[in-house]
Chains A and B, each alone.
Chain A
């Protein structure tokens, strides 16, 4: 393994939570302005986590400590894998495993809210799975490998070949940024039936770990946009910012999307654009 890759992984591990926290802060300020409020300070997410970290250690089942740790470690691991230009499928499998641990943490709490939250988090993992596999398949058809590294050194940016997959990716990002649907697991909307669902029984350090993991995950998904615009750094940056703003707008326009609507709409989008894209690429015989 190249030394550059290791540097990349280390940089990601250090920078991702900082950037992720800042983005969350921006998000909260922007959303507040949308709703004619002033909103919290930009650094509020960091204050929150710092405060959570120093809270009393209390849990409804001690096993949640290890599960939330596993969640954080594996999400960070997936991000580091991605940053080294590693295998995309492996990154996705590792993410799925991380989420399994979060879901198990919610299950182990033995509380109705947490349980339903876990089930809905599981649904969101299920919604995401086909899209991720199609994404990986698309990369394979374009570069002949699952390695993100090959996607990054492409001459032609991936979006030319994978426009459909990109649309699907944007669509699922609302889910991954915990925007819509409002009633799924840890949506940031205050007024929802599950009181923060999957995390409702977590407190103190466990909750802090979940928050940090969430920052990592946000950065993982945003940096995947790079794969579509490889070779064009300015374009990539613009795309990432635009997508992020778009997500905040979508969130504020559709505040009451339920999980059933989400499953249906996202899978229809996946079938039409994602599968359609892969089928067209396949019929054309791939790029390699």
Chain B
């Protein structure tokens, strides 16, 4: 009899794939809804079970006869490369073609000349970190898929020219989940590489879903950038195999326990580049901002629970190794710089999805910075950021997607007074935005943790300075969005289309999750993160310090209580008094809030938010940022080849 953990793992790996195959076959909407619903319930159940088991004690399972799994994954990998190759030829894209050929050759060399024979190693490992990822993929990922059931119906009603290919769409979404589960559960780097490539392919196909010229252009940009990551990953494996040691370095657990880190700097540098591409860090950020041409559930999936999280997962996984090298410091610098640059860029954007995209990249930058620093405090901050960002960002994307279908725009300038026009969605949006930057919510706790981690890290003062200015930018762009929602403008009421039940369900559950994570963060830290950290740094003890200090917790609680009181007050409080027209500099104003113009006509007074494009526009900031981050990456690789270590 198989142990229950193994069954859960197999369910997580195989059920989404099988569902993908079935979803690709059956056409009727009803069958799809039922199938997707059942699959989602199974995935959520299995991931919760597995995470629970892993939190009690890390799961580590070894299977015999894994050669055939390796073979199967190898074939899948070749298939992925061939599909990208074929599409590159079809659309005549030189760069992706070239990169996929290189990748194909590298994989073939690796398979037939690289490995002398299969080494025995642990097959699956589920640590605290992978448990967190399993929960994120299993719960948030499936909720996004459920949301997509309703969303895609509206999507095709709005996008008339786009061919309806829902079977293809949903098959890819579920395949994506399988690949992500593989990525976080496998222990063999070769297998992880395969899952890595599958996520590249899935994101490529999903971004190009509408097949418009813009979509294809952005899809190919995504694929060539991620192929660079794939190639770097493969090169990392090459360099690992060149190290002469009896230890099997392709096993993640053995690699992490390898004592001679100074021999590992070259593969670490390549792994870092791979992580940076997938996490859309500068200078690779444009693929993620371009990815917003895809239907919103795809953006939500890419930004919150899959793809970009695969990148930072890899970096956080190897954070203990990074912490001893200068490669890590430069990785952290790239992340911190990305945080600063993209937070500034977000100020200049009025497109809600683009603001979200830049904020995603910024937060991933912060996670990357923490991973590069790699101390116990930094890893804790990174994991907290991963969790809070995943829930809040997924919620925000789902809201923007639904709002776009209701008001016909994703421009923040068109969202004024949304709280009156679409109360449910706007409330959820307020929760999401608050969760991204306000006290006492989640991201702020993570920022706090990051701050403490930076202060005790080598070169920490550089990171502090960057974080200080970066977080000033985040305050600016989030608050002006938040303000828009509370404005009360004379807008025509939104179309009376009811929200699909699947959309409503996902949005509400996600909102509850955001609040739950914010309230339950002490439990997350003590129950999940500390045990994981103790696996790496046996002497790490959080105790009574920093934001986890008892008094601070009391204060956070008090603050939450004050806020709760205010929310209740907002609903129950007295509104006694006279509502008068707004002040317009003494002009005559009518009851609608319009002013009397000089030609005797009442006119609407219109103001818009600051975007400060002369300072923060893409035209101003993008190119210098590419140069700076490019130089940082080159320096990182050079330091990797020189094998420079940090003395402590």
Min distance, Cβ A221 to any Cβ of chain B, angstroms: 18
Residues of A within 8 A of B465 (CB): 130, 134, 275, 278-279
B582 in complex: contacting residue of A87, A111, A129, A283, CB < 8 Å: A111
Cβ-closest chain A residue relative to B457: A282
Q: How far is the CA of A94 from the CA of B552 in the complex (A)?
A: 12
Most buried by B among A59, A133, A279: A133
A156 at the interface (CB under 8 A from B): no
Interface residues of A in 165-203 (CB under 8 A from B): 195, 200-201
* Interface hit among A17-25, A100-108, A249-257: A100-108
Q: Does B487 contact A (CB under 8 A)?
A: yes
Question: Which one of B439, B467, B554, B578 contacts A58 once the chains associate, using CB atoms below 8 Å?
Answer: B578
Contact, CB under 8 Å: B455 / A112? no
Complex interface residues of chain A between 105 and 148 (CB less than 8 A to chain B): 106-116, 118-119, 122-123, 125-131, 133-134, 136-137, 140-141, 145-146
B486 touches A108 (CB 8 A): yes
Chain B residues numbered 431-490 whose CB sits less than 8 Å from any CB in chain A: 438-440, 444, 448, 451-452, 455, 459-462, 464-465, 467-469, 471-473, 475-476, 479-480, 482-484, 486-489
B64 on the interface (CB 8 Å rule)? Answer: no
Binds B, one of A45-53, A69-77, A222-230, A235-243: A69-77
Check B566 against A69 for contact (C-beta < 8 Å): yes
- Please determine whether A126 and B476 come into contact, CB atoms closer than 8 angstroms: yes
- Tell me, yes or no, whether B551 is within 8 Å of chain A by CB: yes
B585 touches A77 (CB 8 A): no
Number of residue pairs A-B, CB distance < 8 angstroms: 188
Q: Decide if B83 is an interface residue (CB 8 Å cutoff).
A: no
For B566, give the chain A residue with the smallest CB separation.
A70
Tell me whether B94 is interfacial, beta carbon within 8 Å: no
Q: Which of A28-36, A60-68, A207-215 contacts B (4 or more CB under 8 A)?
A: A60-68
Identify the interface centre among B455, B467, B563, B569: most chain A CB within 10 Å of its CB: B455
A219 within 8 A of B: no
Of B42-50, B604-612, B617-625, the one touching chain A: B604-612
User: Using a CB-CB cutoff of 8 Å, which residues 333-365 of chain B contact chain A?
Assistant: none
A side interface size, CB within 8 A? 68
Bound Cα distance from A200 to B583, whole angstroms: 7
| Pairwise interchain contact A133-B479, C-beta atoms closer than 8 A | no
Closest residue to A119 on the B side, CB-wise?
A: B610
Asked if A108 meets B566 with Cβ closer than 8 Å, knowing A56-B578, A65-B573, A130-B468, the reply is no
Q: Which residues does chain B contribute within 8 Å of A65, judged by CB atoms?
A: 573, 575
Q: Chain B's nearest CB lies how many Å from the CB of A29?
A: 29
Chain A nearest CB, measured from B209 CB (Å): 36
| Contact status of A97 and B549, CB under 8 A, knowing A112-B584, A113-B584, A133-B451 | no
Contact status A118-B583, CB under 8 Å: no
Q: List CB contacts (< 8 Å) of B537-572 with chain A.
A: 545-547, 549, 551-552, 554-556, 558-559, 562-563, 566, 569-570
Q: A60-B581, A61-B579, A111-B584 are in contact. Are A86 and B467 (CB under 8 A)?
A: no
Q: How far is the CB of A192 from chain B (nearest CB, A)?
A: 12
Interface presence of B34 (CB below 8 A): no
CB <8 Å contact, B483 and A126: no
Instruction: Check B579–A62 contact: CB distance below 8 A.
Output: yes
Cα distance, A267 to B468, chains bound together (Å): 11
Q: Which residue of chain A has its CB nearest to the CB of B465? A: A275
List the B residue with the shortest CB-CB distance to A267: B469
B492 within 8 A of A: no
B593 in the interface (beta carbon within 8 A):
yes
B583 A114 Cβ-Cβ under 8 A: yes
On whether the beta carbons of A103 and B468 are closer than 8 Å, the reply is no
User: Is B439 in contact with A96, judged by CB distance below 8 angstroms?
Assistant: yes
Task: Offer 13 A-B interface pairs, CB within 8 angstroms, sorted by A.
Answer: A59-B579, A104-B482, A110-B417, A113-B583, A119-B480, A122-B476, A129-B472, A200-B583, A267-B469, A275-B465, A281-B461, A282-B460, A282-B464
Question: Given known contacts A94-B439, A112-B606, what 19 new A-B pairs fall within 8 Å (CB)?
Answer: A57-B577, A57-B578, A66-B573, A70-B562, A96-B439, A104-B486, A107-B483, A110-B417, A114-B583, A122-B475, A125-B475, A129-B471, A133-B464, A133-B467, A200-B583, A275-B468, A278-B464, A282-B461, A282-B464
3 nearest A-B pairs in the assembled complex, by CB-CB distance: A282-B461, A57-B577, A111-B582
